[in-house]
Structure 1
């Protein structure tokens, strides 16, 4: 299973209004383990960034002026993400900007390159309904260290997202215990089909049944005969 954790930074909030990519970061995971491969580029957007966007990512027009155009890295990017599951937080935003850049170059959208898209924000909202589910909030909730995230950065955020995703989905396919990055080991426990097991049923003894009845009688007395289990048992 090949997954790519993807994040972008942009000049503003609307690809439809001409905002462009200024940074793209991708981190590869194979079978729920980081492979060590990543792709990262700062990009010249050929337009100024909105001041609010600069406050978020810190990438000034001056810094980006000598960076490559998206057209110069598009083939490398498409080769890196081809036929993978792309996981992004608020994926419609990142994918929308990338598809807009591809359209400018006359290339088909990401979905046409064998990519499937998973939105980790939707996953988080389903898993933690009614709670804040920004990347920062998830890092705090799932105990992922994001102390180096003074500003947003595509590669940094993609790495944080990979850790958040693993913790959100831990145990769905296997139990993975990471001991350390330096020569450490992992422990995997394969899924076990419990359908063939018969669980023993141990009947309560007469003394246990009598003690249980005494507790129920006390509760029944305290509730003035309004105990629901009596009605259910009847």
Structure 2
């Protein structure tokens, strides 16, 4: 049996995760972007930013991700890092777990920015692992037996969650033949990269 041809990945694909300060709408306190190049993680060129928010981090949010106001006091504000984040994300496909959330928050912080496409590993997992007990990132880490030995930081930090999501994407991608086949399942309707609906058939005419 001949080996299957690997998926032709896009030239720029970044697995992203963001953490907020608990406000509504949230201000960013951490952004991580981990490249996938030719179907492999590239941790050597990953982007990660810690941000001092204009509104203090709530106690609940700090308990979730561990980023306190005291810790973030030494880091730059969003206007100071915004250009660098935009340049890093520019023209790339992005991938996230429950990608609507990350895309919405990033788009609000980067007016005019639009990725080449958006992969949602939650949507992809529901199609790929329909019998999984649940489709949260924690449940899928266990279900797919992901090895997170080398993941940075800890769960609910953006760098860790981006690493876990990237491994999940690569694990599921092994079950798809082509990139268009994967994106047909993984891109949420209405977000960049979603397959276009077929053109309606023209009614036959006399001429």
Pairwise TM-score range, normalised by the shorter structure: 0.7 to 0.9
Quote the offset at 1:151 in angstroms.
Answer: 3.8
Task: Summarize the Cα distance change of 1:25–1:150 in structure 2 as closer, same or farther, 3 Å threshold.
Answer: closer
| Bigger RCO of structures 1 and 2 (CA < 8 A, at least 6 apart) | 2
Q: SS at the partner of 2:60?
A: helix
Query: What does residue 190 of structure 1 align with?
Result: none
Structure 2 unaligned blocks of 5 or more: 1-9, 179-207
In the TM superposition, what is the alpha-carbon distance from 1:74 to its structure 2 partner?
Answer: 1.6
Q: Determine which of 144, 148, 170 is the counterpart of 1:142.
A: 144
Which residue of the other structure, out of 85, 90, 94, is the alignment partner of 2:93?
Answer: 85
Q: Corresponding residue for 2:15?
A: 5
Superposition RMSD on alpha carbons, in Å?
A: 2.0
Q: Describe the shift of the 1:12–1:42 C-alpha distance in structure 2 as closer, same or farther (beyond 3 A).
A: same
State the distance in 1 between where 2:23 and 2:54 align. Answer: 16
**Counterpart contact for 2:155–2:161, Cα < 8 Å:** no
Query: What is the Cα deviation at residue 94 of structure 1?
Result: 1.2
Return the TM-score normalized by structure 2. 0.72
What residue in structure 2 maps to residue 126 of structure 1?
127
Q: 1:14 to 1:145 in 2, by over 3 A?
A: farther
User: Is the 8 Å Cα contact of residues 154 and 160 (structure 2) preserved in structure 1?
Assistant: no
Report the number of matched residues.
164
Cα distance, 1:13 vs. partner? Answer: 6.4
Q: Which is higher, the Rg of structure 1 or of structure 2?
A: 1
Q: Give the corresponding residue for 2:188.
A: none
Deviations 1:80-107 (A, max 9, x none): 11111100111111111112222xxxx3
Question: CA 1:4 to 1:125, structure 2 compared with 1: closer, same or farther past 3 Å?
Answer: same
1:157-196 correspondence runs (5 A): 157-173=161-177
Q: Taking structure 1 as the reference length, what is the TM-score of the superposition?
A: 0.64
Deviation at 1:150, TM superposition (A): 4.8
Structure 2: distance between partners of 1:63 and 1:151: 17
Structure 1 unaligned spans of 5+: 175-234
**Rounded Cα–Cα distance in structure 2 between residues aligned with 1:10 and 1:98:** 11
In the alignment, what sits opposite 1:74? 82
**1:26 aligned residue:** 33
Return the offset for 1:173: 4.1
4+ residue runs of structure 1 moved beyond 3 angstroms? 146-151
